[in-house]
Amino acid sequence: MGKNGQVGQALQQSLAALGHIVAVDRQRCDLGDPQTVLATLDAEQPDIIVNAAAYTDVDRAETEPELAMKINAHGPRLLAKEAEASGAMLIHYSTDYVFKGDKDAPYVETDSTAPQSSYGRSKLAGEEAVAQESSRYLLLRTSWVHSGIGKNFVKTILRLAQNQAALKVVADQIGAPTSAAMIAHVTADLISFCQKYAMAGLLPNQKIPYGCYHLTALGQTSWHAYACLILDLARQAGMVLKASPETVTPIPTAAYPLPAARPANSRLDTTKLRHAFGVSLDQWQDGVQQTIAQLAR
Ligand SMILES: NC(=O)c1ccc[n+]([C@@H]2O[C@H](COP(=O)([O-])OP(=O)(O)OC[C@H]3O[C@@H](n4cnc5c(N)ncnc54)[C@H](OP(=O)(O)O)[C@@H]3O)[C@@H](O)[C@H]2O)c1
């Protein structure tokens, strides 16, 4: 689900080798319209549902909280209920925005949640719904997603840098930029892991470590340092830009007010995921380099 989104597009490539994939968009399967969700599941009878669809406009969600809740919480609840009834596994994505962002270290899965925005509250409600309704789910919290398509920070910085010689970027929020491609290939690794258990005839509920995991690239940065790397890599890739890393000024969050509050600390600890499934994660800079290379083609 969410076939045209950043993660949805990347999933179609990464999951192709694992079996028959049916990618659906909002026109066919609208998370805000239960009838279309039920009709899609009924027609396709999936063994695994991967939900990359979501209401992701963080600032707009402040004025559309009901719609965000409908798509990010009520829709996933229905998916989880249906998955449970049919025996399907549900893979669902969530966000660092479920946390307040005032911890001094990366957040672990068991840390208390305290979303500061309407989007964060809707995503947390979605997490809770999935965990309540389904016994076979993987809930993957990620952060700062980028890819060569859709709306993201990499594309925004490059667009601004084409028109402006100097930029100001927030330097007191830290996190890990994570490529949609890495999210998708790790998702494929998790599905392969689960399929191996199923093929070995082991009872999935006893052997597959279902639950909530943090899935981000390794390392950390600020939006400001991230913007500087984007411009540096873009310059190396031959893009013609007015701004450069040297002309990006660091500013505090307070100097760039937005409708929705962002966590100051968006770092998510990925130890649980790496240990449970033996997956390896890329450094955040590698993903940015790949996205720039994609955009420079
Ligand atoms: N982007 C980030 O920085 C970020 C950070 C942390 C977590 N996440 C989470 O990661 C997941 C994937 O995000 P993404 O970056 O790939 O998002 P995205 O690029 O905004 O894609 C979201 C997709 O959801 C679809 N969608 C929206 N409303 C829908 C509805 N009512 N029914 C069905 N589909 C609907 C959109 O369809 P249209 O194409 O028709 O609009 C779009 O294709 C989401 O769960 C998101 O919350 C994202």
Tell me how far apart the alpha carbons of residues 71 and 33 are, in angstroms, rounded to a whole number: 9
> Per-residue pLDDT tens for 23-66?
999 999 999 999 999 999 999 999 999 999 999 999 999 999 99
Greatest C-alpha distance within the chain: 61
Q: Answer whether 30 contacts ligand 1 (Cβ < 6 A).
A: yes
Tell me the three state secondary structure of residue 187: helix
In the chain, alpha helices (H): 6-14, 34-44, 65-69, 75-86, 118-133, 153-163, 180-199, 204-207, 223-236, 271-277, 284-296
Q: Quick check: 140 and 183 in contact, CB under 8 A?
A: yes
- In this structure, how many other beta carbons lie within 10 angstroms of the beta carbon of residue 145? 24
The list of the chain residues with pLDDT below 70 reads 198-206
Domains and CATH numbers, the chain: 6-296 (3.40.50.720)
In the prediction, which pLDDT does 94 show? 98
What is the model's pLDDT at position 196? Answer: 82
Angle, helices 284-296/153-163, rounded to nearest 10 degrees: 50
Ligand 1 center to 175 CA (angstroms): 19
Coil, strand, or helix at residue 34?
Answer: helix
* Three-state SS at 92: strand
Q: Which atom of ligand 1 is nearest to the CA of 97?
A: 6
Quick: pLDDT tens for 184-227: 999 999 999 988 876 655 555 557 899 999 999 999 999 999 99
pLDDT at 199: 61
Residue with CA closest to ligand 1 atom 24? 53
Tell me the CA end-to-end span of the chain in Å, nearest whole number.
Answer: 28
Beta bridge partners of 249: 168
Pairing mode, if any, of strands 248-251 and 48-51? Answer: unpaired
Tell whether ligand 1 has an atom less than 6 A from the beta carbon of residue 7: yes
| C-beta of 54 in contact with ligand 1 (< 6 A) | yes
6 CB near ligand 1 (under 6 Å): yes
| Ligand 1 mean position, distance from CA 246 (Å) | 33
Q: Could you tell me which residues come within 8 angstroms of residue 275 by beta carbon, excluding any fewer than 6 positions away? A: none
Provide the whole-model pTM: 0.96
Q: How far is the CA of 144 from the centre of ligand 1 (A)?
A: 13
Q: What is the pLDDT of residue 184?
A: 98
pLDDT for 208 equals 85
Q: What is the pLDDT of residue 221?
A: 98
Among candidate residues 148, 181, 150, the one with its CA nearest the CA of residue 295: 148
At 249 the pLDDT is 97
Give catalytic status of residue 119 as yes or no: yes
3-state helix, strand, coil in the chain (%, to 5): 50, 15, 40
Q: How many CB atoms lie within 10 A of CB 77?
A: 18
Q: What pLDDT sits at residue 122?
A: 98
Q: Which of 55, 119, 137, 213 is catalytic?
A: 119
* Backbone phi, psi, residue 109, to 5°: -60, -30
Question: What is the pLDDT, as a whole number, of residue 54?
Answer: 98
Q: How far apart are CA 127 and CA 73, in angstroms?
A: 7
Tokens representing 114? 């305290």
Q: Report which protein residue has its CA nearest ligand 1's atom 2.
A: 145
